[in-house]
């Protein structure tokens, strides 16, 4: 079903506003999800991220089967996908916020994240100027494989492929969760004084036991989460005003993003920001259409105009502001001067890295994974590697949990 131009505008604003509210209410940031796990084994945001990806995979694969979608996310892929992801991951960890986290915190009143955003825009502009070089020496050489997705590569319906991917993802998460919960054997074998059940468990096939323990933990955690919802006797206004569980926001974002998948396609942040950079260059009097990256890649017809996704991210910041203001969380926060280089360098790395990786944490780690894009699996792995490396560097004096 096609919408009118006004209808598309309204959907863009509604989707962006809703995502801004959901991000702000759960303090949902991909840096927090991975950095906190690496540094402290804290999974508060990571659980919300995984819940969102699993739900979005199921919804988007069903939509694709039924034909209610605008297309898959299939950039060319190769070593360049990984390198771009690493650069972006380093940048977002140094800056202290991912692409979406930067936007919602900017709406919440953090001036340092406006600074990060400014230097991301600088990064977009610098990349646009040198794009002809990268087009030949980077993308053509390092990403030589045509873009594809497992939905197209496997001989099953998208719904079946998506369901299978969720099962594999759950088993993998259960294995990691269960492995961390199992007691470690001391050097030389199991302690004879240990409980017989524990000794027997430890001698069984390790992966099978780990998955079993992990699945039981997931079920128990899900039950606890649902009981928390049912037993919460606060007034509705109080529940809306207080912070939300990251799993609630992750699942809700997946549902909202399903609307976006129907009217636009994959959900992304930095691509729209890069288009805003081109629009601002054009509005300043420069010939943005004459710059190949702006005129031929981002605006394929050379018409530098405001697009649906550009409106969506503006609405996202507005949604974050309204959510923060109504909850009493909005206030102007000034940056720590000692950390100004982090925001500047981190913003530049995010701007350039997102262009090298053909997307940010949202395009690759959230919607790209749900779309089973080969490029996004590689870029997402690169982002996680970048977070891991930068987290260990930043916490080198106190150590990390993993």
Model pLDDT, residue 185:
56
Count the domains in the chain. 1
Q: What predicted TM-score, i.e. pTM, was given to this entire model?
A: 0.92
Model pLDDT, residue 190:
46
Domain membership of residue 371 (yes or no) is yes
Domain membership of residue 355 (yes or no) is yes
Model pLDDT, residue 193:
46
Token pair for 208: 């099978």
Model pLDDT, residue 184:
67
C-alpha 263, offset from chain centre? 20
CA distances from 331 to 105, 142, 176, 327, 362 (A): 11, 45, 39, 11, 26
Model pLDDT, residue 121:
98
Domain membership of residue 402 (yes or no) is no
Domain membership of residue 103 (yes or no) is yes
Model pLDDT, residue 240:
80
Residues with pLDDT less than 50, the chain: 186-203
Domain membership of residue 176 (yes or no) is yes
Domain membership of residue 343 (yes or no) is yes
Domain membership of residue 401 (yes or no) is no
Model pLDDT, residue 138:
97
pLDDT tens by residue, 104-144: 999 999 999 999 999 999 999 999 999 999 999 999 999 99
- Provide the residue range defining the domain that includes 9: 5-186+194-394
Domain membership of residue 144 (yes or no) is yes
Model pLDDT, residue 228:
87
Model pLDDT, residue 397:
76
């Amino acid at each position: 079903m096609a919408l009118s131009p006004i209808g598309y505008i309204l959907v863009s604003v509604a989707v962006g506003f809703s995502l801004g509210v959901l991000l702000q209410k759960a303090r949902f940031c991909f840096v927090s999800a991975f950095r906190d796990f690496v540094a402290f084994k804290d999974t508060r945001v990571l659980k919300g991220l995984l819940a969102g990806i699993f739900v979005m995979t199921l919804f988007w694969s069903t939509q694709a089967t039924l034909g209610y979608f605008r297309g898959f996310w299939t950039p060319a892929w190769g070593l360049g996908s990984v390198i771009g992801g690493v650069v972006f991951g380093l940048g977002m960890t140094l800056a202290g916020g991912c692409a979406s986290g930067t936007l919602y915190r900017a709406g919440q009143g953090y001036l340092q994240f406006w600074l990060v955003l400014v230097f991301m825009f600088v990064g977009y502009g610098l990349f646009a100027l040198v794009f002809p070089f990268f087009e030949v020496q980077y993308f053509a050489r390092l990403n030589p494989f045509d873009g594809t997705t497992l939905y197209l590569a496997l001989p099953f319906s998208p719904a079946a492929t998506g369901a299978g991917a969720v099962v594999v993802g759950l088993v993998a998460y259960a294995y990691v969760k269960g492995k961390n919960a199992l007691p470690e054997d001391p050097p030389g074998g199991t302690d004879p004084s240990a409980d017989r059940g524990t000794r027997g468990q430890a001698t069984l096939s390790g992966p099978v036991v780990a998955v079993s323990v992990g699945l039981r933990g997931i079920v128990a955690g899900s039950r606890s989460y649902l009981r928390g919802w049912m037993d919460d006797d606060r007034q509705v206004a109080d529940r809306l005003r207080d912070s939300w569980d990251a799993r609630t926001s992750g699942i809700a974002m997946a549902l909202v993003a399903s609307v976006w998948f129907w009217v636009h396609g994959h959900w992304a942040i930095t691509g729209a920001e890069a288009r805003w950079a081109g629009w601002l260059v054009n509005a300043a009097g420069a010939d943005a259409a004459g710059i190949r990256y702006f005129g031929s890649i981002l605006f394929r017809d050379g018409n530098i105009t405001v697009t649906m996704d550009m409106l969506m991210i503006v609405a996202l910041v507005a949604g974050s502001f309204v959510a923060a203001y109504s909850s009493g969380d909005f206030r102007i926060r000034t940056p720590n001067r000692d950390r100004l280089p982090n925001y500047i360098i981190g913003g530049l790395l995010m701007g350039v890295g997102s262009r090298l990786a053909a997307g940010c944490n949202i395009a690759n780690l959230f919607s790209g994974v749900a779309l089973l894009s080969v490029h996004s699996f590689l870029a997402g792995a690169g982002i996680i590697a970048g977070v891991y490396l930068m987290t260990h560097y930043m916490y080198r004096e106190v150590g990390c949990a993993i």
